[in-house]
Structure 1
Amino acid sequence: MLKKLNVYCTEKDIMGKTESEDLQADYTTAMISGLQQLYESSQYTDVEIEVENRTFHCHRLVLAAMSPYFDAMFSSGMIESQNHKVNIKNVPSSTFDIILQFIYSGTLALNEENVGDVLQTSVMMQIKCLKERCEEFMISKVDTENCIGTWKLAQGHGCHYLTQKSFRFILHYFTEVCQTEDFRALDVFEVISIISDNDLNVKDEEIVIETVFDWIHADIDNRKQHIKTLFEHLRLPLLQPEYLLEVVEQNPLIQNETECREILDEAKRYHLLPARRQEFISPRLVYRNLGDFEEVVVCIGGSNEREQTRRTVMCCRNNKNWNYLEPLPYDPGVEYATCSYGNAIFASGGSSNLKGMLCYHSNQNMWTRCQSMLLGRRRHSMEAVGDSVYVLGGFDDTNEEEFQTILAIEKFKLSTGEWEDCGYLSTPVRSASSAVDREKIFLFGGVTGENFDTKIVQCFDTRRNTCSVVSQLPVFCRLSSAFGYQRKVVIICPDGKILSFDDGAVEDVGCIPGFERYSFGSVLQGDSVNIYGGIKSSEVFNDVICFNLSSKTASLTGTYMPERLFGFGCAKCVIHKKYLNKPVCK
């Protein structure tokens, strides 16, 4: 009986709800029909609305119920509420007629000719449901010829939904929209809002450059003054070098503009110094969300257990998702070194193949084997300078002789693909960090051949092939991490201290509270360094910590590695999105 009763109650509830809905629908139909009859017969009207040369006989109660504009007018004690006559200016009578038809009958006769006026008037009269219907109609009719006008109309009347939708349309069909007369009529700030958006759908940045110059030439006398403002938003580092030098640099508009020349020189440095690309910081080095390429952080090998590693290579994308890339062709073992040159990443040495050298080609998502190093190494440093990759110091535990900590420096010439001896450290060290400043490689701390931690800073001059001790660190810091930043070198110590090194002087920059880890990965991202994973005693981490070098504050990014990891290579590179098709399942 209980089950039947429950079913009966449920059916009754459903039937009751249906009856209520039917009743409401009948009531609405009857009310609308009655209102329409009252309006058409002018029966019981109590206000006259004068629009242009027409007079509309209306009911204040109905107008106030639908429009806060009329409600405020009739309840405010204004003259209109006293003499029962209202004069509305700057509204076509045909438009007001459409609005009254909607108020009294719920019918709406919109077309492409009248929708703009109806939208404008509905905004003025605060008739929300009518405004929404107008927005939906305009969205359904938007095309490459009218999207600019729709966007500007929506902005002018505070129609946020229509503004957003029409702007998204402009971004998506930019290559067609930028050729219209409406685009050429935009003001400079409207152009900037479009070209600076990361969702701009362009195959390459050359299209954006040409569009900007075309816009200026459409009214060159009045617009050439804006070239400096626009140039700040052009992503020149993403241009092909030939286009940058042969088209942009030769444009007469920028010849005498110092600010433009500085931005151009910045892009030229990006292309001319591929060895320093990891340290390049610019608001113009941002890849579009809909473009073919994306800058990612690549994590190579590593492990969550000591004395183990793996061939796995994965990358962290801008959307915080992780993807697998082509794995290493062999397991390098532990304590190998990595560095980048342009969009290539090199990995050398390691316990399983002390002389091994690999190169990752991001444009093909593939690894190739390079000529073996002259000496086998692990726990060494590796840096790119000019057209060469250098390996410095390290450790060879297969060497039965006394000198297992390596003094020799060798370089890999990218032009020939061959290794050659090029000098010696002042003091042989292993597990030191390194960074480059003005063609000089600096090694920070490390462990000496006598198994003592050291505070010394060594400088290897790649032009003279000479090395000298130039400074002392305030702390011992084996297994630290270092990178160039704004003509200085920043050092991340395993205890969380952040140091700055500049021409021999060492300064305390800040500290990451509770850090205490080593064998972590780090990359420079704008004015911050992101630190990935690492190990403390037996605890392995998978978090990503951000230290802002400007504010000197640390925080968790909210991004996590798919697994706990340490002892991996870490570098940025630009890769085609077609290779980002193997997501890592966390």
Structure 2
Amino acid sequence: MASPSRERRDNHSPEEQPDSHSDHGMATSRNGGSEYSLTSLAGHDECFCSLHHAETSLNRMEAYLVNNQLTDVTLIAGSRHIPAHRLVLSAGSEYFAAMFTSDLREATQSEVVLQDVDGDALWMLVHYCYTGRIELREDTVETLLSTACLLQLTAVVDACCSFLMKQLHPSNCIGIRLFADTQGCMDLLKVAHNFTTEHFMEVIPNQEFLMLPADEVAKLLASDDLNVPSEEEIFHALMVWVKSDVASRKKDVSRLLSLVKLPLLMPSFIADYIETNPLFREDRVCQDLIMEALKYHLLPERRPMLQSPRTRPRKSTVGDLYAVGGMDANKGATSIEKYDLRANTWNHVASMSGRRLQFGVAVVDGRLYVVGGRDGLKTLNTVECYDIKSKTWTTLPPMSTHRHGLGVGILEGPLYAVGGHDGWSYLNTVERWDPQARQWSYVAPMSTQRSTVGVAVLNTKLYAVGGRDGSSCLRTVECYDPHTNKWLSCAPMASRRGGVGVGVVNGYLYALGGHDASASNPSAPRFDTVERYDPKTDTWTQVASMSIGRDAIGVCLLGDRLIAVGGYDGQHYLKLVEAYDTQNNEWQQVAPLNTGRAGACIVVIKNPLP
């Protein structure tokens, strides 16, 4: 029945005034209803909502489904006949909505045949349309997912994908990856692919890998994200796959071998395992690939011209990059961060034993050597060693000279400490640490006093680049030959660069950033420019600039990229990290540091040899 009005009528026209009936003692309206009925006393409308209406209705519909009552269509999948209700199916599935609300013939058919659909999976999904619940099991989830994709049941598809992600294992990840690709489930594909690359060493022995078609093996081997300790493992994986069916897979060997980074293998490995392998002897392409790899080792001076995807190392094989200390907003960072190239993340891994600024760091026998610097009060000559594995610090014999603003480098075994400032004057002296004798000794001094000097090793020589000598920043460069114990002058840079960062890639030396400012002008502009030195022609060439000007940059080679870490732009200590691609002559930003810092020492500890 219609609900009565709740409006109060306080003002009436003469025609609307009620008649008075003294015998009843109350007023009535013209139509006989009471003007003072209960509904007229309330002030607001109300709306009742049953909290369990939808659940109750669906439960009743489910009962109609189970008891085959009021059904108006039968779905047929194989031998399975499933009576159902068009309205419920259309409400739950975009697929059925399109089928039953259009001009398709199925809209009026009492029976609808679904070709190539699993009957049990269809029943589970029909039941889901009535209940919103479905059971996911390992043995049926893939069939369920593919059927849910067909019926456009997005929520079920997502639930199945999440379930499969939890089931990933080295023995099934390739199958799940291929299945996700077939179904167009991109999130599952990405997760399964990442799992496969992360656990590749565990995936190799499994049947799924051995049964892969050549095209899928090629996709895997082409990935630089494969988590392997060395490129030798990639070659072994290829051989395991080929040997499981040599007759049919021999035709694919040359194509797949081209995806192994042969130039990055040890020469002895190439000679022992590849050059003598009968599979490659009669194949011209394989022979060319082997020759390319041998040339890369025999002619190191030609490596800049021999660059290709095969000379770009996989991310897991380049070692670990460490950013040690530096100046930060708290006037001295003691933290050590490690960069994970595969994950593109920085993580705090250790702390220095105390505050040090403008020190040097080098890697000797897989350990970090921290040399000299200043602690904020005095210049240091002390040397400490950090063992990455045991996470312990030990003290080594000190240098003969206190030095901050020095540069360090490893040349043919010994460690060199170059120039710097002793707290009173700029230095041209150089000391050498003999790791066998465990002692320091002086070698020939540089021709020029240099502090905040860039030091790098290139072609068995030690280079000292730029810096400042007390009166000005320097553009001069000199190199040290350990066999003659002499320093020789090289061509100067185009710009004076104090606080310059230096690194070496493919036979070239790079000078990054820096400044040409007096000590009294700390906020002067910093350089974003980069110069490249060719030792064969003794010339400098300008290459692509960094994104911003900065000095006190930490620079190191990681794989085939030159990494520029942190620095100071005249106002801020930077978290910025950029990687230089020599082939494309361009800089790309990578994950920033957790702590902005300038003058951090950047080193790489390489993976142990296989």
> TM-score w.r.t. structure 2 length?
0.68
- Counterpart of 2:115 in structure 1 is 89
- Counterpart of 2:52 in structure 1 is 22
CA drift at 1:147: 5.2
- Counterpart of 2:207 in structure 1 is 181
> Residue deviations 1:59-106, cap 9 Å, x none?
544444444334334455344446666443333556555555555677
Q: Residue 479 of structure 1: SS of its match in structure 2?
A: coil
- Counterpart of 1:314 in structure 2 is 336
1:527 is the counterpart of 2:561:
yes
CA drift at 1:529: 3.1
For 1:95 and 1:309, how far apart are their aligned partners in 2? 63
1:491 is the counterpart of 2:491:
no
Which structure is higher in helix share?
Answer: 1
Change (3 A) 1:323 1:239: farther
- Counterpart of 2:240 in structure 1 is 214
Q: How does 1:543-558 map to 2 (within 5 A)?
A: 543-546=575-578, 548=580
Change (3 A) 1:359 1:264: farther
- Counterpart of 1:13 in structure 2 is none
Q: Please, which of 159, 183, 194 is the counterpart of residue 157 of structure 1?
A: 183
- Counterpart of 1:509 in structure 2 is 543
CA drift at 1:388: 2.2
Q: How does 1:8-407 map to 2 (within 5 A)?
A: 20-37=50-67, 40=68, 45=72, 51-52=77-78, 59-81=85-107, 86-91=112-117, 96=122, 100=126, 116-129=142-155, 131=157, 148-160=174-186, 163=189, 178-191=204-217, 210-224=236-250, 226=252, 256-259=286-289, 283-287=312-316, 295-300=320-325, 302=327, 312-318=334-340, 320-323=345-348, 325=350, 327-328=352-353, 335-341=358-364, 343-350=366-373, 352=378, 355-373=381-399, 377-396=403-422, 406-407=427-428
- Counterpart of 1:559 in structure 2 is 592
For structure 2, the residue ranges without an aligned partner over 5 or more in a row are 1-45, 301-309, 516-525
Change (3 A) 1:383 1:209: same
CA drift at 1:491: 0.8
Q: Please, which of 457, 479, 493 is the counterpart of residue 436 of structure 1?
A: 457
For 2:169 and 2:398, how far apart are their aligned partners in 1? 59
User: Is the Cα–Cα contact under 8 Å of residues 328 and 573 in structure 2 kept in the other structure?
Assistant: no
- Counterpart of 1:573 in structure 2 is 605
CA drift at 1:21: 2.5
Q: Residue 559 of structure 1: SS of its match in structure 2?
A: coil
For 2:531 and 2:443, how far apart are their aligned partners in 1? 29
> Residue deviations 1:8-67, cap 9 Å, x none?
xxxxxxxx9997322222122122223444xx25x563x565555676666544444444
1:500 is the counterpart of 2:523:
no
CA drift at 1:218: 1.1
User: Is the Cα–Cα contact under 8 Å of residues 450 and 469 in structure 2 kept in the other structure?
Assistant: yes
Paired amino acid for 1:529? I
Identity %: 20
For 2:200 and 2:87, how far apart are their aligned partners in 1? 48
For 1:371 and 1:138, how far apart are their aligned partners in 2? 57
For 2:435 and 2:339, how far apart are their aligned partners in 1? 28
Moved more, 541-550 or 214-223: 541-550
> Residue deviations 1:383-440, cap 9 Å, x none?
2222222334445566xxxxx6555544333343344454343445444323222112
> Residue deviations 1:87-133, cap 9 Å, x none?
43333556555555555677868766655444433322334455456
1:411 is the counterpart of 2:411:
no
Paired amino acid for 2:241? W
Paired amino acid for 2:313? R
Q: Residue 287 of structure 1: SS of its match in structure 2?
A: helix
CA drift at 1:469: 2.0
Moved more, 16-25 or 374-383: 16-25
Paired amino acid for 2:455? S
Paired amino acid for 1:411? R
Paired amino acid for 2:59? T
Structure with bigger gyration radius: 2
Give RMSD over aligned pairs. 4.9
Paired amino acid for 1:295? D
For 1:113 and 1:70, how far apart are their aligned partners in 2? 26
Q: Residue 437 of structure 2: SS of its match in structure 1?
A: coil
For 2:249 and 2:320, how far apart are their aligned partners in 1? 34
- Counterpart of 2:42 in structure 1 is none
For 1:48 and 1:439, how far apart are their aligned partners in 2? 82
For structure 1, the residue ranges without an aligned partner over 5 or more in a row are 1-15, 271-280, 399-403, 577-586
For 2:242 and 2:82, how far apart are their aligned partners in 1? 49
Aligned residues: 528
Q: Residue 316 of structure 2: SS of its match in structure 1?
A: coil
Moved more, 107-116 or 372-381: 107-116
Change (3 A) 1:28 1:483: same
For 1:327 and 1:113, how far apart are their aligned partners in 2? 53
Change (3 A) 1:303 1:120: closer
For 2:124 and 2:242, how far apart are their aligned partners in 1? 42
1:425 is the counterpart of 2:459:
no
Change (3 A) 1:183 1:521: closer
CA drift at 1:154: 3.5
